[in-house]
Structure 1
Amino acid sequence: MGYLPAGIWVIASGVITYGLYVGADIFAPFALAVFLWLVIEGFARLMQERIPKLPRWLAQTSAVLIVLGIALTVTLIFIDGLNDFAKNAGAYEARINEILTEIYARFNIFTVAPPDLSRMLFNEENTKFVQPILDSVQGLASSFVLIMIYIAFLFLAEKNWPTKLDNIFPDTKTRSQAREVGHQVRKSMEEYLWVQTVISGIITVITYITLLILGLDNALFWAFIVFFLNYIPTIGSIVAAFLPGLFALAQPEWPAYMPTDATLNALIVLASVSIWQFAIGNFVQPRMMGESLNLSALVVLVSLAIWGALWGIPGMFLSAPLTVLMMILFAQIPGAHWLAILLSADGHPVKNKPIAAKDDSENVSSA
């Protein structure tokens, strides 16, 4: 037992944080590759459980093809959605300029002329704000090939991990405990990713049907935006609810059964999407998530800000599972166990004893 000196923790945390920030172009794609690899491995094991005679190599190959097929389908949907926006860009811009004029008139702002959309988006100040987001998205897209290479090498290196683990932990008891910790890390990560994917899928399907009924343009595109944003804890679900509502303000035409007031339509879209986010996020997700995300709400929010600052958009997507990983690892270090307790929601980060700790029964027998 005993706490490591605070100065050591401050220095170590600073060095590690700086390293993660400087090496974001290397570490962020690798982290994404690891979590995608876990999804693929989970797929492969699920197929082997359902079809016991299925060879492992065939299960892994099938899982890779399924994931790549899903990724290709999503990419095509996004491209089609962007093309649809481009075709109707003139109508959307005219509607937004009309809204800006109405706002200036409603609030009696007569000292200056209402700005148009082009001047608002492409002025120097807004460009500085939007450019980092665009750079992060572009960097993530350009790292796709690197992520695929990482995944391939993770599969190649998988068969040698047991041997390496045996050499790192020659003591049988310590090795067994290390295996248990590794199993717990893997189980927590896979459970979180699977549950989050299922929840996001349910919300996406319901949101798509809702937006289709309401008559929102490009409903499939917005449904998939909602799907991906739901991987970002807390903030993602809020943004996912607001984006379709904001776009509804700019939609020039609506079905005949919808109100003629665009503002009212936007509120209907916002309320409809928010209801599903609230209901599933507060009643279904906690039951399915179980103990895989044993983090306090404050820690989730802080980790989102920290990982987002370090790695941008990839860090925001991975903030929750990375923090769970840190909590599990801290719980195995006697001097850092208190950090794991602070990160956990219930004060019990893991059930395993720290690897470095000696078993009480062993101490008694040796006495």
Structure 2
Amino acid sequence: MGSIPAGIWVIASGVIIYGLYVGADIFAPLALAVFLWLVIEGFARMLQERFTKLPRWLAQLGAVLVILGATTAVIVIFIDGLNEFAKNAGAYETRINEVIVGVYKTFNINTVAPPDLSSMLFNMQNTKFVQPIIDSVQGLASSFVLIMIYIAFLFLAERNWPTKLDFIFPESKAREQAREVGHQVRKSMEQYLWVQTVISVIITIITYINLLILGLDNALFWAFIVFFLNYIPTIGSIVAAFLPGLFALAQPDWPSYMPADATLNAVIVLACVSIWQFAIGNFVQPRMMGESLNLSALVVLVSLAVWGAIWGIPGMFLSAPLTVLLMILFAQIPGVHWIAILLSADGKPIKLKTQQIAETEQIAEN
């Protein structure tokens, strides 16, 4: 690649990234809608495979109703959890203030008086740090209706895609390659989302049982927090393990069979949640994931930071599948094939059948 093409590529990348950042309110909900649509379509196809006489529209309707039902159930659980926290807010605040005083005494921090929870949370510095997270969550919630509208129009536009593809690629070879790229992207995204959902459900159920046995307040709420955080690569599972443990420090009352020391209880909660995250994430998930996420660990972290900076929390959730999408697309373009190699974990990005056939014919000619 010459210096001029490289320069053009850098400029184009900067313009695209800036456009995605400026248009986050439009593109982030659209990306979420596409991935939710893929989940619905995958579930609808599964219904049709099991019930062969089921019409496609009825399978899609069933899948939509299941997704809406699950979404409603999750919203109800979160609202109930927040209400439960609000009822016991005074007791939690008192316990946290006691922990802060204990920390100051343990480390012999000389000060007039240890700060309380309110002064720590609502000072200017911490507010500036937390506010972007709160704004991102509020923005995601407010975009829910827009996401639903996008999904509806995706279903309406689906039937015309084959015809549009024929017009865009009049040559049969190019059209076949475009269809294969689309099929591979769809297959990789669906497999990633399906495996990630199954893994998150398994971890959530085990976490809920563990937290229920240990006696942590609002165990169902924390289990669902763990479920959603597991969609964020690497960092999500770490945060998911630490949050219930940190909350355990603030819990004032525990069952009689648990130790009297709240710090020891927090360590037990952290250990119980972490061991399942580690075991399933390192032994079960790689076997189920297969080649759908052929990304190096460094690329996963960098993509998490980049997409998070561009789109906030939605970007973090979508960072891995979006990077896989880019890797598949780059692998088909000779000028940027090297980027796909750098993104892949084994240096072998996915090759399409048409690409493999072309390479075989070239070798035969030589």
- TM-score band, normalised by the shorter chain? over 0.9
Change (3 A) 1:281 1:360: closer
Residue 2 of structure 1 deviates from its aligned partner by 8.1
Is the contact between residue 29 and residue 147 of structure 1 (CA under 8 Å) also seen in structure 2?
yes
**Residue 240 of structure 1: aligned partner:** 240
TM-score by length of 1: 0.96
List per-residue Cα deviations over 1:130-149 (Å, max 9, x = no partner).
11000000000000000000
Identity across aligned pairs (percent)?
Answer: 82
Aligned counterpart, 2:151: 151
After TM superposition, the runs of 4+ consecutive aligned structure 1 residues lying more than 3 A away are 1-4, 357-365
Distance in 1 between residues matched to 2:179 and 2:120, nearest whole Å:
56
Which residue of 1 is the match for residue 278 of structure 2? 278
Match for 1:309: what amino acid?
A
Compare 175-184 and 84-93 and name the one that shifted more. 175-184
Q: Corresponding residue for 1:54? A: 54
* 1:190-235 deviation per Cα after TM superposition (whole angstroms, max 9, x unaligned): 0000000000000000000000000000000000000000000000
Mapped to 2, the partners of 1:317 and 1:362 lie a distance apart of: 41
Listed as ranges, the gaps of 5+ residues in structure 2 are none
Residues 209-288 of structure 1: pairs in structure 2 closer than 5 A: 209-288=209-288
Distance apart, 1:298 and its partner CA: 0.5
- Name the CA distance, whole Å, in 1 between partners of 2:170 and 2:85: 60
CA separation in 1, counterparts of 2:3 and 2:364? 24
Q: How does 1:123-142 map to 2 (within 5 A)?
A: 123-142=123-142
> Would the alpha carbon gap of residues 322 and 4 (structure 1) be closer, same or farther in structure 2, given more than 3 Å must change?
farther
Q: For the residues of structure 1 that align with 2:268 and 2:362, how far apart are their CA atoms?
A: 65
Aligned length: 365
Is the alpha carbon distance of 1:3 and 1:76 closer, same or farther for their aligned partners in structure 2, counting shifts above 3 Å? Answer: farther
> Contact 1:4–1:336 (CA<8 Å) still a contact in 2?
no
- Cα distance in 2, alignment partners of residues 252 and 299 from structure 1: 42
Instruction: Report the Cα offset of residue 111 of structure 1.
Output: 2.4
Letter of the 2:278 counterpart: F
Residue ranges of structure 1 left out of the alignment (5+ in a row): none
**Which amino acid in the other structure matches residue 319 of structure 1?**
S
How high is the TM-score relative to the length of structure 2? 0.97
Partner of 2:161: 161
1:2-49 deviations in whole A, cap 9, x for unaligned?
897321121111111101110111000000000000000001000000
Query: How large is the Cα RMSD of the aligned pairs?
Result: 1.8
Do the aligned partners of 1:296 and 1:343 also contact (CA within 8 Å) in 2?
A: yes
Cα distance in 1, alignment partners of residues 18 and 67 from structure 2: 33
CA shift digits 1:55-93 (9 cap, x unpaired): 000000010000000000000000000000000000000
Matched-pair contact (CA < 8 Å) for 1:232–1:317: yes
The verdict on how the C-alpha distance between 1:334 and 1:272 changes in structure 2, with shifts beyond 3 A counting, is: same
- Please say if residues 327 and 343 of structure 2, whose CA atoms lie closer than 8 Å, have aligned partners that are also in contact: yes
Contact 2:331 2:351 in 1 (8 A): no
Deviation, structure 1 residue 350: 1.1
